[in-house]
Structure 1
């Protein structure tokens, strides 16, 4: 009985010696402001498509569940970006405008790629009004499938889940809108 009591006392004392739990910050990443981003919506579980998005699950940058890419279908535009990437900064206004024009016609998902500072990624998305969900790929899991040498890379996903790639930044709103029409059949 003494051993059981001693073990219980020791466990209680040791539990009090650990770090004090902190109040978690809202958002999956725990980054300040992450709760202000558009939440990642739940997706219907689907089998992967041959020639489609990879069977990779990425955590939401803001609130919401992790996102399994293989579950997604279009019309969908996925933009691989990073806050430290100058071309990503240059094309961000075109993506923000696309989101406003395409609401209800097209889904957009951002992938924050190999970004060491979640708080700066959140600030980047908020400051540039990228009002669509974002996930985090800190381990470069999409690199091979999306042929990412460096961001930005944009993925156009059709209704069947098959995709085509656009490497590099968009140079104008007209270029982006035309690619959305050509690749996804969505007129804006």
Structure 2
């Protein structure tokens, strides 16, 4: 069973690497400016933020993860995001967790239990709509330093995919991203 899981992860990583490095236009074909939002942070004591405004983060690579406390794949992937954030936050990287629970009750305790020290906000209907009408979770958007959505992942975020896509994004130059937008 473990060998099968490892083989699946390796296959996914190879597909992502192939599509990003060999055919970069595949990842960027539907690139668009990330819709802005300004939301109150639910875990200011852990993250150090009271509010988060996406436009104020231009110049940083931003990973936006839509999740919920009741979602098993979300609960499983959050430790990957926490670990990745702590290793990379000094490299102009930000992760924003957008919680889609109906209420915010219990979310704060959840952020403490999982040591989520990146900003966590509550999704509004407007944000859900502007990001494609989020109906399934988890979903993760990778936003370039210039504010462009360059990669969208639906489903459980494998740690390997998170590392590969993020590292590639952090190395990209803004001019290259803008050139890809014009295609």
Q: TM-score band, normalised by the shorter chain?
A: 0.5 to 0.7
Q: Alpha-carbon deviations, 1:111-148, whole Å to 9, x = none?
A: 112x13423211222111211111111x3322233222
Structure 1 gap ranges (5+): 1-49
2:78 is the counterpart of 1:92: yes
Secondary structure at the counterpart of residue 79 of structure 2: helix
Relative to structure 1, the CA distance from residue 166 to residue 185 in structure 2 (aligned partners, 3 Å threshold; closer, same or farther) is: farther
Q: Tell me, in whole angstroms, the C-alpha distance in 2 between the residues paired with 1:110 and 1:167.
A: 15
TM-score after normalising by structure 2: 0.64
**Greater share of helix:** 2
Dislocated runs of 4+, deviation >4 Å = none
TM-score after normalising by structure 1: 0.63
In the TM superposition, residue 183 of structure 1 has moved relative to its aligned partner by 3.6
Question: 1:21: which partner in 2?
Answer: none
1:97-108 maps to which residues of 2 (within 5 A)? 97-105=83-91, 106-108=93-95
Question: 1:152: which partner in 2?
Answer: 138
In the TM superposition, residue 62 of structure 1 has moved relative to its aligned partner by 2.7
Aligned positions, number: 134
Larger RCO (CA under 8 A, 6+ residues apart)? 2
Q: Tell me, in whole angstroms, the C-alpha distance in 1 between the residues paired with 2:54 and 2:83.
A: 24
Question: 1:109: which partner in 2?
Answer: 96
Contact 1:156 1:184 in 2 (8 A): no
RMSD value over aligned CA atoms? 2.2
Relative to structure 1, the CA distance from residue 65 to residue 128 in structure 2 (aligned partners, 3 Å threshold; closer, same or farther) is: closer
Structure 2 gap ranges (5+): 1-30, 173-183
Q: Tell me, in whole angstroms, the C-alpha distance in 1 between the residues paired with 2:144 and 2:35.
A: 14
